[in-house]
Every structure is written in structure tokens, then in C-alpha cells.
Amino acid sequence: MVRKNNWYPCYTFFLLLFIHTIILNDAVWKSFLKSYVIYLFFGGWRYQRIFFYTFRRDLKGLRCLIMMMYTTLRNSYTKEPFADIFARTVKRRGRDCIAAYFEDQVWTFGQLDDYSNKVANHLLRCGFQRGDKLSLLMHSSPAYVGIWLGAAKVGVATGLLNFNLRNVSLSHCMDAVGGKGIIVGKQLKDAFLEIDGEKRFPADKIWYVDEPASLPESSDAMSTTSEASWNQRLAEVSAAAPPKLARSKSREHLIYVFTSGTSGLPKAAIITTPRYLYMVSGVRYSFGIYKSDILYTSLPLYHTLAGICGVGQMLVRGTTLAIRAKFSASKFWEDCIKYNCTVVQYIGELCRYLVAQPLKPTDKQHHVRLAFGNGLRKETWIEFQKRFNVPLIGELYGATESNSSIINCDGKLGAIGFMPQIIRGIYPIYLIKMDPVTEMPLRDPETGLCIECDTEEPGQLIGRIDNSNPTRFYDGYVNKEASEKKILRSVFKPGDAWFASGDLLYRDEFGYLYFSDRLGDTFRWRGENVSTAEVESVLLRVYPESSISVYGVPVPGNEGKAGMAAIVVDFKKLSEEEEKSMIETVYSNVTEHLPSYARPLFVRLCESIEMTSTFKLRKVDLVKAGFDPRNSKDHIYWLDPSVKHYSRLDEDTFEKLKKGTVRL
């Protein structure tokens, strides 16, 4: 069998029941009892144990899935624009109800509605039409949400740009969206000008926003000059609702969220209204988030977790949102107390920073009942929950563009989600075996089909694509070629199509899923996906003649994997000064062209890197070697934060990094 069936002993039970009742003509109760005893004796007890252990969880998951499917199917059928969904939220909650806290600002639903209306009318006045695109490069604030919401009210899709990106990466993202105009926070103006941003858009469609962004005051002086502030321009337009959009006949794009995917530079994932609602409702029903909650997020709003799963609770459900522009470990719980928050968002690295803080009285003076997010390691999970007295941890997993998200809805320690054991076919996700060298699916030599993994066996998570079903739809990226690369075909039957997550997971006997590793040319660090191709391209511009391989290596006590670059160079012929100059050049280039989380924390100078049969650099051995200087004669450097440059890694420093006494 190519696909595993965990419930075949059930068929045995019914066969025995049939034999005893019909053929042997036993009484029904005797037949049932005999068949059940035989069934249990020959292995059925295992499956009964699994059934009773997972029944409540699967029932909860089934209810959640039904609600998610209802929400998505309803919107796919009615084609209701997102503006109408938000209008219904405002009416239900009331215009004076608080929508968001931000620093000392308080935004009501009425104010957010008016602000977004002004944005919509301003865009219409500037010639934007339904189907156009807009780029947004700003730090997090309620105004950030109001801008893309206003654009959505007139059918303009907004590309949410990562404000940590610089140079090539930022330029690539702007080109990927191909927007008709751009809105830039003034704190990010220099980064925008570094890539000649003002040459990419018409001068009258570039707007700079004061940061932190605030509501426009009626007293803002009106101006028609090019130097007029964003708020001055909004003061000139009406806060009345723009003309209502007709219902679209296609899957209209709402926003674009950038993800690294499995290789290459960041890609713009398409988020439609059904897809947005699917993710929002999944979090809502899985973890029980209510309109009476106050949700705190210090994650960037260009991020799926905050920008969709968090902000969506406010826009769709009416939950109050508390936003912090930038995460602060020392202010996290103080903010939660200040705004009386009941729900918080995290990424694994964030929790580790919180746990590392000195003990404070505020650690347990909050009213937080739920923390949800992704990437939380088991060790940190235990300490975080115990120290801060948070009753429920809600771990979830899923790429922005995927159709195979999973959720740990019952707080199982260390799990990122589960596969339903009762009716697996209702949510078609599977783990398939992968070749560790080629990173391609292993196929049955007779059928040519993929092979499902056994319990505790790592495999790539895949989700079935069915574009006739809105809940199984795969929108992919703006770049169709990149979208196609994420699809596996002829997996369990000839011609079928499945989304390939690019991640290795494994499941236990109860169907709980745990993260194992990341496939392809991507690794995760500091809660961000790092594209190895992006880092390699920066280094290759400096050393075009060298073979360069970038990969992630685990560092004890740290979430994810730290970046490491292996550069082929005959270092034996280099003088000490030449090698030092080379390392300094590497440092200056990665700091200039890469965001902090993407910069290699280790550099390995080596004489050669083994090639695969297809002439690709073999990373498997490099990953296994890690950053241990004792395992090789290569010269290894590490990015020392105390001196802000690469220093030679010796055995003493290596041991300190392993023990966590020296931090990266």
C-alpha cells in the first residue's frame, strides 16, 4: 500500500461480526461480544486506545473545520467584498467601541472606518481603479491597517512590504508587486531612497507618512503641494464611504504577503478574501477568541500571524487589538496590564526573550488566558507557561500561501498540530517520504506514486489541491512559475495535485504532528524565513569566482537555525591580513544588503565543497558538521555581537555558545 490505513482492524471486527451473526447464526449480543474480544486480542486494543484518546480533540477539530468551511464557502458563493464584511463588524460592535490601542492612541471602529474611507477616496481621486496594486512600507500601527483596508474598499490590492528589507531584497519585492503607487513611513524613507524608489513610481503617487502614524486632525492645514503630509492630504477628502463595489466574479486579490517560499528571493503570496477569512476563522474557532477579548500583538503587521490571524480578529470578529510597533521584552507584560489584554501573539523566539528577562512582579499580574503563535520549543513552552501562568498555549503551523495549515487546539505540549484520526479524508493532509540527498519525494518503484510515512518517521507535509473547493484552493504567488514549483503531481493517484510545504514533520501514534526540519534552500531564524539563495547572491557579488553555500545550523538554546556561509577559498595561501580583510568585506556586505535576521552568524572558509551528481553544492555534510571547529581544519568565524564583526571561533567560544553563556 502506498497510503497507510490506520484503521484496518475495524474492518476485521465487522467481518467477524458478520460471520458470527449471519453464518454461525449466533445471537447478536453474543456475536458482538465474541467479535469484540477477538478484535481486541489481535491488535484492536491499540486503535480503541487511539480512538478514545483523540475523540474529543478530533471532534473539536471537526467542529472548527466545519465553521471554517462554512465561512469560506459562504464568501466564495456570495462574493461579498471585504469592505462589506468590515462594515458589518462596525455596525455590530458600534462606532464608539474601541478597535485598537497604540501607544497613547485609542482608535474606535468609527474612526478606523472613517480613516479607511478617507484613504479610499484619496486613492480614487488620484486615479486608482479596481484591480490596481499599491505598495505599503511602514511600521506597525492602526493607520497601517486603515491604509490597506481603505485600498480594499475600492478594490485595490496592497503589497505589505517587510520593513526590515534593504537594497536588492526590498527592490525585488517592490518589483514583484508592481504597484501603481506606494506609501512609505518617514522612518523608512532612507531605505526607500537607497534603491532609487522615487524613480519606480509616479511622483504624485508616492506618499510619506509621519511615524508613529496617527489619525488626521480636522485642523490639519490643507495643501496641494508635493510636500503636503499624508494627514494633510487625507484632511482634504471626505470620510464618507466610497461607492460600493460590485460583487466580483473571480477570486479578487485582497493583499499580498511576502514569504521566502523554499528558495530564491521573497515571493508575493496572494491573499484573497476567502483565504483571509479561512485563516481568521481557523484561529478564532480553534482557540476560542471572542469579541470581548483584547488581543496584544508586537509582531510586524506585514507578517501573516499578526497581519491576518491577529488583525483579522478585529476586522472580522470585532475583537479589540493592542498594537506595539516593535517588540520589547521588558515592556511586554506591562503593555498587557496597561491594556488589560486577554490574548497575546508570539513567535518562538519572542517567548525565549521573555523567559530570559529578570523575574518581575508583573509576570503574573496580567489577565492573559491564551498565547498563540508558532515556533515555540518544548523547553521554552514549559517554562513560559509556568512562569507567566498562561492557561492555554495555541501553537499553529502553515505557510502563508499553503492550503495545509494545522493547529494544536488542545495544548498538547510540543505539537504544532494534528492529523484527525476519526475521518482523515475530511482534511486531506499527509506526510510523504523524502530522499534526504535529492530532497525529492520517494516513489514506489512499481506504481510511481509517493509513499506515506509511518508513525515517528519524518516526511514532507502535503495538502491536496482542489480548485473546485474554496477550502482546498491554492492561490499561490503572483509569480505563476514560482507557484507551480510548490505543486507535486501524481502523488497518490495519477494526475492528482498536492501542495508541498517544504517542511519535514513527524507524527506520533495519536496523530499529533511535530516539526522536524526544513527542506529546500530556506531556514528559519528569529521568527523569519531566510532564503539561502538571497544570502548567496549577496556574497557572490563580492566573490563571483568562489563556490558559496549558505545553510542553517542548530545552536543549542536558540529557536530555528542560525545562518552559516561556506566560502571556498585557498586560505592556506592567504596571509593573516588578507584573510582578515576578506572577512571584513563579508561583514560589510551582509550588513549593508541583508536584514539582521538573514546575516550569516557563522562563516566557514574551506578548500572545497563536495558536488552532487547534478553539479549542485552538497549541503548535507556541511549541515552535519555544524559550527564545531574541532571537526575540521577549515577556518570558522562567528559574528560576535560584542565587537560587531566576525571573530575566529575557537574551542572555548564554541563551548560557551553550546552552553548559552555567550549569546548570538
pLDDT digits (tens, 9 = 90+) for 65-89: 999 999 999 999 999 999 999 999 9
- Residue 225: predicted pLDDT: 41
- Residue 1: predicted pLDDT: 39
pTM score of the predicted model:
0.85
- Residue 212: predicted pLDDT: 86
Cα–Cα distance, 398 to 408 (Å, whole number) = 12
Cα–Cα distance, 191 to 664 (Å, whole number) = 26
- Residue 42: predicted pLDDT: 66
- Residue 147: predicted pLDDT: 98
- Residue 206: predicted pLDDT: 96
- Residue 8: predicted pLDDT: 47
Cα–Cα distance, 164 to 152 (Å, whole number) = 24
Handedness of CA 116, 122, 127, 133 (dihedral sign): negative
* Count of all residues that appear for the chain in the document: 664
- Other C-beta atoms closer than 10 Å to the C-beta of 186 total 16
Angle between helices 45-78 and 8-18 (to 10 degrees): 110
Give the E-state strand segments of 40-104 in sequence order: 98-102
**Contact yes or no for 31/61 (Cβ under 8 A):** no
Distance of CA 481 to CAs 124, 135, 256, Å? 32, 22, 17
Cα–Cα distance, 357 to 382 (Å, whole number) = 16
- Residue 12: predicted pLDDT: 62
Q: For domain 79-326, is the CATH number 3.40.50.170?
A: no
CATH topology of domain 424-518: Luciferase; domain 3 (2.30.38)
Cα–Cα distance, 223 to 648 (Å, whole number) = 57
- Residue 612: predicted pLDDT: 54
Low-confidence ranges of the chain (pLDDT < 70): 1-45, 218-228, 260-264, 422-423, 611-616
Assign domain 522-659 to a CATH class: alpha beta
Cα–Cα distance, 516 to 12 (Å, whole number) = 34
Q: C-alpha angle 215/216/217, rounded to 5°?
A: 110
Side chain identity, residue 370:
L
Return the H-helix or E-strand segment holding 170.
helix 167-177
Residues of the chain with CATH 3.40.50.980: 79-326
